[in-house]
Amino acid sequence: MPTLSQKTQLLKHCTEAASTIYAECTELLSAKGQHDQVTVTRTSLVGCGPALIDLLSRQANIVQIIYQNNLRAITTPPVITTGDENPSSQQKYDLALKRLEDIASVAYSKFYAYVFKDLPVCWRQLYTDARILNFCLILLKSPYAVQHKADGGSSNDAHGCLDELVKTLDLTLVLAGAAGERRGRRWIDKTLELLHIIWLAESEGQSIDGDSAADYDRPAKRAKLVEIHGISNMHSVHIAGATFSTNEPFTPPVMHPVRKTEALSIEEFQTYMDRPHDPKLGPKPLILHNALGEWPALSTHPWSQPSYLLSQTFDGRRLVPVEIGRSYVDEGWGQKLITFGEFLRKYIDPTSLAGTRGHTNPGSNGNDDKRRCESKSSPENSKDTPTPKPTAYLAQHQLFTQLPSLRNDILIPDYCYTSPPPHPTDARIDQPELDEPLLNAWFGPPGTISPLHNDPYHNILTQIVGRKYVRLYSPLETARLAARGKENGVEMGNTSMLDIGVLEGWDEAPATGSSEYDDEEGGTEARVDNDEDLIKATMNEKDIDAFKAVPFVDCILESGDALYIPIGWWHYVRGLSVSFSVSFWWN
């Protein structure tokens, strides 16, 4: 069991957040004249206006008072009180929760009024602060605040509260980027770390059939059962020792293999880039075999085992944004926020999560859980879990910013600290030098596709789980690859109109047309129309033959391989089995 001091540390962390929010709001509301400029440099909330700042201030003060009272009495009662015996205190608690939902709703409504990069940071911080205070209040009614009596509540109570706690912070990370200088992402990362430690300790020896949810790395004497909890579903699944399926429904033939070599030293790789066979083209793609040998993700912390990934995501409770649809240029493509557990269960690999013993929809007991946690419905998750779609892809997501624990399982390749050449044909594509490589995660079932496109950076694509097919075209062939232009106000010039899978006969042409998609937050998103009809209408048989004559190289990446993709090279990527990859952009 976690010690009282561990839980007290989390409570103090929340107290500090409420105090700093209240102090900032008070400072803003009292600032006059020449003090305004000083205040603006110290906080971004000023852009939200005095009415919302005052409303946030009053809620922060309520949370601050509740926490201060409980911390003073922390060593006396075994259970935190929030005024249940005093109707007026309970009413203040309930009203604060409602007002915080109102503040978050107002802030979130502004997200639709701007392209995210142009969204004033004040609305992101207002949303973040409201959600942080919301978390603080939910925590007080959860088993993770203080030691509970042996009969203090059922496991469903704890599950329902943990769902709400994790969801509240993940929405802040994913939707608002956890903006805020004094709190924001650093505060949330520390909070989730403390909560994870407490949760693991609480779970020790208390999972189904008496087995520990933390036993993923211990020798199993028999099958273990670990619970996965989605937003609106709970499953108990048999996953001990299981790895993702290696089944490949379709494997394209490799026609012109990419050069492959054993992992190079950093000096050898620099020489490879500096001395290309064709100086006009620059270095070509290269597979570096066994380049990830020291990564924990392939050994001690195996990403190939669902049990390990679940252990790092509160048994799958963490929210992740996934793409729904075969490819982002297809009609019907959209994006959705779902729990990591639901992503695994519904889309990634049901066979590795076989043995489901039961299915509970918290529509029956979830309301009780939410009442116990005193959590209200929020505008960004009021809908039921969506109907499963054929393909879902966690694509180009900064997963390691959201889940720092997984970041510790991988290493930035030394190759990313070399000096690569500029773009071989178009200097306008070169970007300002990065301070650190940009990391993105790519996790999906068989059949996920990244359509033919090019990137403005050099790329080391590392394969951790499963296999992927990659086809690459030289930047010298750009004029023959039917680059898109601006579509619906979005620049798509780095993506080709050519669907490799369709033109090669591997896939059926996607349906065309337009539609709308209800997103997780209750709004609608326009789908991207597919241009396959346009392609076929404008490409006769001679044109298609000409496209097939464009030279390319291709390969299949195995687990442990790294593929160097030079800047400007067009590449089409297809998941063959369950696949987990990480890309490293650098220049």
Residues 140 and 266 in one domain: no
Buried b (16+ CB within 10 A) or exposed e, 300-329: ebbbbbbbbbbbbbbbbbbbbbbbbbbbbb
- Averaged over 464-488, what is the pLDDT? 91
CA 379 from chain centre, in angstroms, equals 20
Residues 180 and 293 in one domain: no
pLDDT of 48: 94
pLDDT of 154: 54
pLDDT at 364 over 50: no
Show Cβ contacts of residue 36 under 8 Å, excluding neighbours closer than 6 positions. Answer: 46
Residues 175 and 294 in one domain: no
Q: Say if 328 falls within a structural domain.
A: no
Confidence bin at 214 (pLDDT 50/70/90): very low
Token pair recorded at residue 343:
């992503």
Residues 413 and 487 in one domain: yes
What's the number of domains the chain is made of? Answer: 2
pLDDT of 398: 87
Residues 199 and 264 in one domain: no
pLDDT of 92: 87
pLDDT at 96 over 60: yes
Residues 10 and 120 in one domain: yes
Domain boundary among 182, 205, 228: 205
By the 8 A CB rule, do 226 and 315 touch? yes
Residues 497 and 565 in one domain: yes
pLDDT of 327: 65
pLDDT digits (tens, 9 = 90+) for 128-182: 999 999 999 999 988 888 654 444 455 566 678 999 999 999 999 999 998 877 7
Residue 205 CA to residue 207 CA, distance in Å, equals 6
Task: Using alpha carbons, select from 583, 581, 557, 579 the residue that is nearest to residue 348.
Answer: 579
- Reduced 3-state DSSP string for 217-277: HCCCCCCCEEEEECCCCEEEEECCCCCCCCCCCCCCCCCCECCEEECCCHHHHHHHHHCCC
- Averaged over 504-526, what is the pLDDT? 57
- Averaged over 42-54, what is the pLDDT? 86
Token pair recorded at residue 437:
């490589």
Cα–Cα distances in Å, from 392 out to 165, 335, 348, 507? 25, 9, 8, 17
- Averaged over 69-85, what is the pLDDT? 55
By the 8 A CB rule, do 334 and 519 touch? yes
Confidence bin at 276 (pLDDT 50/70/90): very high
Q: Say if 318 falls within a structural domain.
A: no
Q: Say if 574 falls within a structural domain.
A: yes
Token pair recorded at residue 397:
């997501």
Residues 72 and 187 in one domain: yes
Q: Say if 313 falls within a structural domain.
A: no
pLDDT of 38: 47
Q: Say if 293 falls within a structural domain.
A: yes
pLDDT at 469 over 60: yes
pLDDT digits (tens, 9 = 90+) for 443-452: 999 999 999 9
Ranked by mean pLDDT, the top range of 237-251, 330-344, 423-437, 495-509 is: 423-437
- In this structure, of 214-218, 247-251, 280-284, the range with the lowest mean pLDDT score is 214-218
Task: Using alpha carbons, select from 350, 436, 431 the residue that is nearest to residue 388.
Answer: 350
Token pair recorded at residue 554:
């291709």
- In this structure, of 22-31, 104-113, 336-345, 347-356, the range with the lowest mean pLDDT score is 347-356
Residue 150 CA to residue 153 CA, distance in Å, equals 8
Residue 460 CA to residue 285 CA, distance in Å, equals 10
- Averaged over 331-358, what is the pLDDT? 75
pTM across the whole model: 0.80
- Averaged over 361-370, what is the pLDDT? 40
More confident site: 376 or 82: 82
Residues 162 and 268 in one domain: no
pLDDT at 277 over 50: yes
Domain boundary among 159, 188, 205: 205
Domain that holds residue 290: 260-301+409-511+531-586
Q: Say if 308 falls within a structural domain.
A: no
Show Cβ contacts of residue 440 under 8 Å, excluding neighbours closer than 6 positions. Answer: 396, 397, 398, 399, 582, 583, 585
Token pair recorded at residue 74:
């922390």
How high is the mean pLDDT of the chain? 80
**449: helix, coil or strand?**
strand
- In this structure, of 95-104, 152-161, 224-233, 250-259, the range with the lowest mean pLDDT score is 224-233
Residue 468 CA to residue 450 CA, distance in Å, equals 11
pLDDT at 484 over 80: yes
pLDDT at 463 over 60: yes
Residues 201 and 269 in one domain: no
pLDDT of 5: 80
Show Cβ contacts of residue 147 under 8 Å, excluding neighbours closer than 6 positions. Answer: 1, 4, 7, 78, 79
Token pair recorded at residue 298:
């392939």
pLDDT of 189: 94
Domain boundary among 205, 224, 250: 205
Residue 101 CA to residue 184 CA, distance in Å, equals 18
Confidence bin at 183 (pLDDT 50/70/90): confident
Q: Say if 252 falls within a structural domain.
A: no
pLDDT at 75 over 70: no
Confidence bin at 548 (pLDDT 50/70/90): confident
More confident site: 245 or 384: 245
Token pair recorded at residue 430:
């070169």
Cα–Cα distances in Å, from 315 out to 159, 215, 228, 422? 10, 12, 5, 44
Q: Say if 482 falls within a structural domain.
A: yes
Residues 55 and 169 in one domain: yes
pLDDT of 150: 41
Task: Using alpha carbons, select from 19, 404, 5, 379 the residue that is nearest to residue 183.
Answer: 19
Residues 420 and 563 in one domain: yes
Residue 186 CA to residue 35 CA, distance in Å, equals 28
**45: helix, coil or strand?**
helix
pLDDT at 285 over 70: yes
- Averaged over 310-332, what is the pLDDT? 84
- Averaged over 337-341, what is the pLDDT? 94
pLDDT of 489: 65
CATH number, residue 291: 2.60.120.650
Per-residue DSSP letters for 472-494?
EE-GGGGGGS-B--EETTEE-TT
By the 8 A CB rule, do 298 and 464 touch? yes
